[in-house]
Amino acid sequence: MPISVSPSPSPPLQLCLPAAAVPQHNVRAIRAPPREWPPIRYQTELSATEAKKFIGDGAPKFCGELREITNGPRGYYYLFAFAGDEWDEESDTALFQSDSFCDMSSSPEGRQTDALERPAMAHAFGIYPGTITLSCYVTSFGSTLQGHEVAARGKVRKLTMLYVLDRLRILQVKGIEEDLGQLHMHLYDYLLHDTHRYDSKNHVSLDNQISDLVAALCRPSWVNFSSSENQTIARFLSDPNPGVANSFFHQLLLSIELYLRINARHQTNLAAKPLPDMPEKIRWDLMLAQRWLENVEVEAPKKVKDGKGKREQKSSVGFKFPHKKTQVEALRNFAWTLKWPNMHEVEYTLSEGEDPNEVLEDRSINCMSWFTGLLLPGKSMPWILMNALTDCDPDVPETFHNLSQTTPNVGFQYRGHTYWSWECIVGKVLGAAAGVAQIAGWIGPCSASADLSRSEMAIINQMPPRGNKITPSNVRGMALNSDPLGACQTTYPVDDYVLLTPSTDDPVEDIRIERLNFSPAASSPKKGVPRITENGHQAAEESPVLTFDASITFAITVERRTRSWKVSLRHNTPFIAAYPCQNGPHVLFCEYQHRVIYADKLVEIQNWGPSGGVEDSEVDDEGGQPENTSTGVEEVLVVEAFGVPDNEVFVRAWCSFWGLPAITADVNKTCMACAIREAYAALVSVVILTNKSSISVEVEEVDRLMENLQV
């Protein structure tokens, strides 16, 4: 049974609206339930079996799971959430539009708990543009700590680059030695110093080799690929300092040696004995080894004649990238989906031609990362992809290059369109607009703004959301607090449930987007700051990337009067794609309190939901994450945003102003009752109901017409 707690009142905030008397909440009553409820012959109560059949059939179950951090301090957890039956994780998740995008996740076809990156990117993007999944939302409240690393005790031998590259080529072609004795000899004769005292039983133990390689890779001098700044692998390959590349290839070789030994162990009877949990840093090394073996081939050194006719071996070694064509097609798909304005120039660049000086992977570090396919999972890949696209467009400004995930609240305007990161509030809100797509972590093309130059980068000033903080105890009680049957009983009275059937026949048609506004934030530098050279002369003015306060102006007709309502996008509020249900609409247990209003009535709603926030003085749960910051929601506000897409844009903007996360549900896929229960599961106090199917049909017809015209 859901737990209802009254939220603490938040300080009054003023929406950027015309000064006028604000009436009381105009809340529309829920429609009377149709005759389908209660079911025929069951007019008073249901047994437990009958309740599961008539109430719970096809309704998703929301469950939480805790995972204590391996090798970490007690009481620190990673948090996970699941929906559906039998841990189905796919229905609320947007499919990757290209196989190449699957590399964004370490387990694109597995459970989120198996993923190395957090959140699990295969389960991050919701089925509607600008949304995330319930699992991604819950994961964001988990601990960010990593487990303790083991002490390094393995002594690594010095290696020449020619040996390292030759060994990499041999491992890729032949794999490791099948004879355990030869494998042992090679490891300790060439790679590591042998510090073991052997007896006859463990002289050539594969487990000893694995543990020694793990210890060697835990040395602090190696690169930690779990850090976002180290996940652009190409920068180690092309670093002008040869020591950086030498160290990288040395670490790569040890990682591949470890990776292949673990795989060999799994194919023997040793697999019955589990390996100890790998430190997180080592798991990233293993992921690098896997991606290298999948995407890079080391060519054998070529021999050429010197000036005297003698043959000598060159010191340089070449590489082949077998999946380069696939990567090119994926980038092309990415650009076309976003309706990139300068696509003809991008297509010309991607054609590559026959000039050896115009190889795609040599254009930049990001192009080398993308076109080689040497990518690590996580949030870094969308930035590498967009950087590769801008590096293939010769007309983009210099500021567009080298976008970094360290500034996720960013976007840019380019030739009449704007494009936004999936972690930027402007993209989250405008994702609901007509014709907007979300692909590989980018949202666009969105509306242009007269406040930005024709081609300009923009960092958006955004505050954290004000929603409830999900704690380990909330995750433990998620299934109980969102059960479609409510409290566990021996019998279930039919009067405790109501059938909610919203009508989409009379949608609000009086909301339209007027303008997308950007005003420089107080902390942002002024445009055109003069640059002074070393000799004291004034050089050409620079155009720094500015930080803006974003807002959207809507035209709303109320009582036959049209007014402009400016809504500031103040908070970086997430929007969660509702999990689809089957055999709906379902009935809702009476203790799931909610109100239903039209989208245009939001101008009368203020300070809805919890105040959120965690005070420093609050007690931690089991020495780890904050506990008992809030145990539920008092009431869910259900906003009917049927009709034109601008209705949902307005509702999302309203949520951003007040800092309220929301569940977004298409009533053709998810019924109102299931969306409300998911809101209780996620401790979210707003549900947005839409009718996207009818809109998407119209958009598809327009796109098909445009394609025919282009042909």
pLDDT at 114: 87
Paired residues of 589 in beta bridges: 497
- 106 φ/ψ angles, rounded to the nearest 5 degrees: -80, -15
Cα 513 to its chain centre, rounded Å, is: 27
Residue 592 is given by DSSP the state S
Bond from prior residue into 276 cis (ω within 30 degrees of 0): no
Is residue 279 within 8 A of residue 149, CB to CB? The reply is yes
Cα–Cα distance between 619 and 607 in angstroms, integer?
26
- Per DSSP, the residues of 393-454 read -TTS-GGGSS--TT--SEEEEETTEEEEETTSHHHHHHTTSTT-EEETTEEEEE---TTS-S
Cα–Cα distance between 597 and 346 in angstroms, integer?
46
pLDDT at 299: 85
- Counting as low any pLDDT under 50, the low residues of the chain are 1-35, 87, 528-540, 612-623, 626-629, 697-699, 702, 705-711
Angle 399-403-409 from CA coordinates, rounded to 5°:
105
Q: What is the pLDDT of residues 314-337, one digit of tens each?
A: 556 688 999 999 999 999 999 999
pLDDT at 506: 79
Residues 6+ positions from 500 with CB-CB distance below 8 Å: 30, 31, 33, 585, 587, 588, 671, 672, 673, 676
Q: What is the CA radius of gyration of the chain?
A: 29
Cα–Cα distance between 369 and 386 in angstroms, integer?
12
240-261: b or e for each residue (b if 16 or more CB lie within 10 Å)?
eeeeeebbbbbbbbbbbbbbbb
Alpha helix stretches (DSSP H) within 542-671: 645-658
Specify the 3-state DSSP secondary structure of 224: coil
Q: What is the pLDDT of residues 537-583, one digit of tens each?
A: 444 455 678 999 999 999 998 777 888 999 999 999 999 999 999 88
To which H or E segment does residue 294 belong? helix 280-295
Please identify which residue in the block is written with the tokens 């071996």: 313
Q: Pull the structure tokens for residue 378.
A: 């996580």
pLDDT at 611: 54
**Domain range list for the chain:** 155-296
Residue 498 is given by DSSP the state E
